[in-house]
Amino acid sequence: MFLEIITAIAVGLWVMLPAYLPNSFAAAFGGGKPIDGGKTMKDGRRILGDGKTWRGFFAGVLLGFLAGAAQIFLLRYGFHFFGISLPGFSASGVSGAFDLSAVIAILSLAVGALLGDMAFSFLKRRLGLQRGRAFPVADQYDFLIGAFLLTAITSFGWLAATVSWLTFIIIIIITPVLHFGTNCVGYWLGIKNEPW
């Protein structure tokens, strides 16, 4: 059981890397034109707010994609985690394969993460929460929900074959811890305005 849990942690972190990185990179490189164009809705509040920008979105997608591509190339050179073999992103099941299915899976993880984050910003604004205000649980899970949903739509076979139930549960447990940890680092570095 111990080895199974360690394996699930390693596989979970590895597979979700293209979903974990985009939001940090959006925070590091974001700014400029907001995606909602500064528009407000009938409730008088912004559609998404100034915290969701085009630059953040594209920086996040690009770096999430580059991370996934780099992971595949590492797998080609036999990369593994202390003897635990790590999965790739191709529906073919060949871990080092960089084919269309792998590109789609990686992009779905990255784009899904950013869309999930945007969807919850939309919800926060409708609830009257200003940009940057904490929305507990949602702030920690919004990007994960988006990443899983989009990847389940585009790459269900790969997802089901790669993420076991145990790995799925481990991802759900460690994601808020990781999210909080990286946000604290971002906050101390002055990249993020709030530690959530």
Name which of 64 and 88 has its Cβ closer to ligand CTP. Answer: 64
- Rounded Cα–Cα distance for residues 42 and 58 (Å): 28
52 binds ligand CTP (CB under 6 A): yes
121 binds ligand CTP (CB under 6 A): yes
Q: How far is the CB of 124 from ligand CTP (least distance, A)?
A: 5
Q: How far is the CB of 114 from ligand CTP (least distance, A)?
A: 5
The answer to whether the beta carbons of residues 115 and 150 sit under 8 Å apart is yes
Measured CA to CA in angstroms, residue 26 lies from 56, 118, 121 at distances of: 4, 12, 14
Window 93 to 112, contacts with ligand CTP (CB under 6 A): none
How many angstroms separate the first and last alpha carbons of the chain? 33
| Amino acid, res. 182 | T
Window 124 to 163, contacts with ligand CTP (CB under 6 A): 124, 131-133
- Rounded Cα–Cα distance for residues 106 and 19 (Å): 8
Among 13, 16, 20, 49, indicate the residue that binds ligand CTP (CB under 6 A).
49
Binding site for ligand CTP (CB under 6 A): 26-27, 30-31, 49, 51-53, 56-57, 114, 117, 121, 124, 131-133, 192
